[in-house]
Structure 1
Amino acid sequence: MIVEMKNVSFIREGRVILDRLHWEVQENEQWVILGLNGSGKTSLLNILLGYEYPSKGEVSVLGHRFGKTNLPELRKHIGFVSNSFERFQPTLESETVEEVIVSGKFASIGLYEPVTVEDFHQAEQWMNVFRIGYLKGKTYRTLSQGEKRKVLIARALMAKPKLLILDEPTVGLDMLTREELLALIKDVIMKKVCHVLYVTHYIEEIIEEMTHVLLLKDGKIIAAGQKEKILTDDYLSETFQIDVHVRWEHNRPWVSIKKALHFSK
């Protein structure tokens, strides 16, 4: 079992942010998490990473039950990429690309432990996989947004994680760079490097290799399961609170709005 949540609720200052979630991620499943801002996606990720603890219920990740495991050690087996890394920009921007990637081995931002020649060799291998070998020796602050995102995903894979969590990894990228990034994620899945949890607002980013979808609304699960059964007009309209239509092209879903919203003056 990759993820198991039983009757999980998360309450802060009297507000129910997650409400009695039951969810499982099995071996060989690749999941996408969809929901509006405020639906509970970030809180769900924080719980899976052990940065927040559920108010009620049981959580297990990679077979480790929370409350009975060493969370800092568990995080070393979970790769994580998020826009929240922006708060670490002062540290990241002073480092070379290789140093940023190697730091993933220690689940740290910045290098604070001894590093070997083999570590840097492995970082260069990931750079080649992500087709950014030309960035060797460059400082992180000189990179484009797309290059930075590739570096951070390579960093997340440095520790050979069993689970990779990608939190809106294509935000701010142009169409070409987005598709390049999705192609790299496809390779990660196809090569069975690790399991992926992919959080996005954009239905069209659900590539063929992603198998399952979790829909969140107001902290509750609207639906969860195989993507073909979950990505329907009714489920998505309820999740996004606007009437939408889903069509499939080249094994990827695309969504259009049936009727635009109008606000009276």
Structure 2
Amino acid sequence: MKKGENWAIVSASSIEKKGFLETILGKTVVFSGSLRFAFADNYRQQSMQKSQVNSYRDLVAFVSQKYTFTNKDNLQNFYYQQRFNSSESDSAHTVQEYLEKVESKIEGYWNFDRVVDLLNINYLLAESILKLSNGETRRLAIASALLKNPMLFLMDEPMTGLDKETRNQFDGILRKIVDSGIQLIVATKPDQIPNVITHVGVLQDGKLTTMNREDFLNSFDMQKERKFFHFDVEKLDKLIQINSIQKFDFLVRMNQVTVVYDQKKILKDLNWEIKQGECWSLKGHNGAGKSTLISLIIGENPQAYANDIVLFDRKRGTGETIWDIKKQVGFVSAELSRFFPKNQSCIKVVLSGLFDTMGLFKKVTPDQESQAMEWLSLFRIPNVAGLFFNQVSLETQRFCLLARAMIKSPALLVLDEATQGMDEDQSSLFLEAINHIGKNPLISMIFVSHYENEIPETVTNEIVLQDGEIFG
């Protein structure tokens, strides 16, 4: 990589892309060959003359798909429901507080006002970082990385979680970053290569083939590169049938639902009904209110009691418990994996779905453990059963969460950007499973995605949110 170049790294395997970026970050063991970071030579020499501890990594910023935001005590002990409890928002920094804490080893072009303007997050400055949508969190991560004024900026799937409008603006954002003197290495999908990219590296079987952007775009056949896997649909149906699915007239009925935080309306007079067997797509820009709407349905938002909401034929606030709701809902989210305790193995995460807890804290029967292994085998990952959940790949985590959601045979499956960041092969297998599950006449589905090509064909209904209201 020479001065002035910006690279995209593409691969059918996200593990290879992650390994490539982590090698540059110094997080892997290099058994042979050598690494040289010439861009840091002057900085390191000047730092040593001042007797200052230094590393080339002082000049490198990285935005991954796993966010590591901490609370005011510098701990990462957030829990999923915390964002919906306004009384607990004080435990986390606001967006402004978080950005003001970022330190840079060198002076540069990027300061607070410039990153806020570039990422269009001025309206978020007073918000708790706990309450940000997935796309808003990604913009915050990019903003905080820029404040370090790096010379080299690494990004892993940078458009993940961004709505269509922000994705359309993203080339302009990257152009301003590059024009400020920062060089980019972006791990991305072949059809999402930004315009500022000058060169492409193709990773396959541990080997890197390099070419300029034009040669790559002229030679690469995306359909040829993809491999479509299939799984045992009969086995999937049998696993779902282990537990009977309860029948309802309405899974969801909302009447004039309004949710307010700090005098700001997140949802406004919303009406929605879901009948058994219906599959819906839920769309909307980042911050439109999708996460808040889902939180009302999965029983996590206390403002449900202040609204006219019926879940599974029972009005909220009539004596039902949160566990009555949760046992009917399977939930898979791109960010859910962050909230499991670090001592949980993959099979424990799957088994926790039987008890609707963020981790397994009860003794299970041999039959239940066998059932969990059957789900892992269905998705071709039985070998990870004993591995810690937070140490396996993103794709593996997502399949574990799908197994966790389905092990209790829910009447409603909620998928909130569930394929976000997955590689092409694993995403196709995941969506194939979702599509088949959606054909079950007793299972309803809510599917959230910013990408039209990800929406399963079994989804025949649509709701679109715009600033908290149903659009169209």
Same fold (TM over 0.5): yes
Partner of 1:80: 331
Q: How many positions carry a matched residue from both structures?
A: 221
Aligned partner of 1:185 among 434, 443, 447: 434
Q: Distance in 2 between matches of 1:207 and 1:110?
A: 29
Query: Rg bigger for which structure?
Result: 2
Partner of 2:423: 174
Task: Please give the residue correspondences for 1:103-182 in structure 2 after superposition, counting only pairs within 5 Å.
Answer: 103-182=352-431
Partner of 1:233: none
Check 1:147–1:121 CA distance in 2 against 1; reply closer, same or farther (3 A cut). same
Partner of 1:61: 311
Q: Distance in 1 between matches of 2:324 and 2:307?
A: 22
Whether the 8 Å CA contact 1:97–1:138 is kept in 2: the answer is: yes
Stretches of structure 2 that go unaligned for 5 or more consecutive residues are 1-249
Letter in 1 for 2:338: R
Check 1:134–1:193 CA distance in 2 against 1; reply closer, same or farther (3 A cut). farther
> Secondary structure of the residue that 1:164 maps to in structure 2?
strand
Q: What does the per-residue CA deviation read over 1:111-142, in whole Å, with 9 as the maximum and x for residues that have no partner?
A: 22221111101101212332323434333234
Q: Distance in 2 between matches of 1:174 and 1:48?
A: 29
Partner of 1:28: 277
Q: What does the per-residue CA deviation read over 1:145-176, in whole Å, with 9 as the maximum and x for residues that have no partner?
A: 11110001101112221111111111111222
Letter in 1 for 2:348: E
Q: What does the per-residue CA deviation read over 1:44-100, in whole Å, with 9 as the maximum and x for residues that have no partner?
A: 0111122222485411111121111222322122111123324324x1x43222111
Letter in 2 for 1:82: S
More strand by share: 1
Q: Which moved more, 1:129-138 or 1:56-65?
A: 129-138
Tell me by how many angstroms 1:210 deviates: 1.0
Partner of 1:206: 455
User: Identity across aligned pairs (percent)?
Assistant: 31
Q: Distance in 1 between matches of 2:392 and 2:304?
A: 38
More helix by share: 2
> Secondary structure of the residue that 1:159 maps to in structure 2?
coil
Whether the 8 Å CA contact 1:168–1:200 is kept in 2: the answer is: yes
Letter in 1 for 2:471: I
Q: Distance in 1 between matches of 2:378 and 2:442?
A: 12
Q: Distance in 2 between matches of 1:56 and 1:108?
A: 25
Whether the 8 Å CA contact 1:10–1:55 is kept in 2: the answer is: no
> Secondary structure of the residue that 2:471 maps to in structure 1?
strand
Check 1:124–1:86 CA distance in 2 against 1; reply closer, same or farther (3 A cut). closer
Whether the 8 Å CA contact 1:6–1:22 is kept in 2: the answer is: yes
Q: CA RMSD in A?
A: 1.8
TM-score by length of 2: 0.45
Q: Distance in 2 between matches of 1:54 and 1:191?
A: 28
- Relative contact order (C-alpha < 8 Å, sep 6+): which is higher? 1
> Secondary structure of the residue that 2:361 maps to in structure 1?
coil
Stretches of structure 1 that go unaligned for 5 or more consecutive residues are 224-265
Q: Which moved more, 1:63-72 or 1:114-123?
A: 63-72
> Secondary structure of the residue that 2:335 maps to in structure 1?
helix
Q: Distance in 2 between matches of 1:37 and 1:193?
A: 31
Q: What does the per-residue CA deviation read over 1:20-66, in whole Å, with 9 as the maximum and x for residues that have no partner?
A: 01111112210110000110001101111222224854111111211
> Secondary structure of the residue that 1:2 maps to in structure 2?
strand
Aligned partner of 1:4 among 228, 253, 265: 253
Q: Distance in 2 between matches of 1:114 and 1:27?
A: 33
Whether the 8 Å CA contact 2:278–2:443 is kept in 1: the answer is: no
Q: Distance in 1 between matches of 2:410 and 2:305?
A: 27
Task: Please give the residue correspondences for 1:209-224 in structure 2 after superposition, counting only pairs within 5 Å.
Answer: 209-223=458-472
Q: Distance in 2 between matches of 1:54 and 1:134?
A: 40
Whether the 8 Å CA contact 1:9–1:54 is kept in 2: the answer is: no
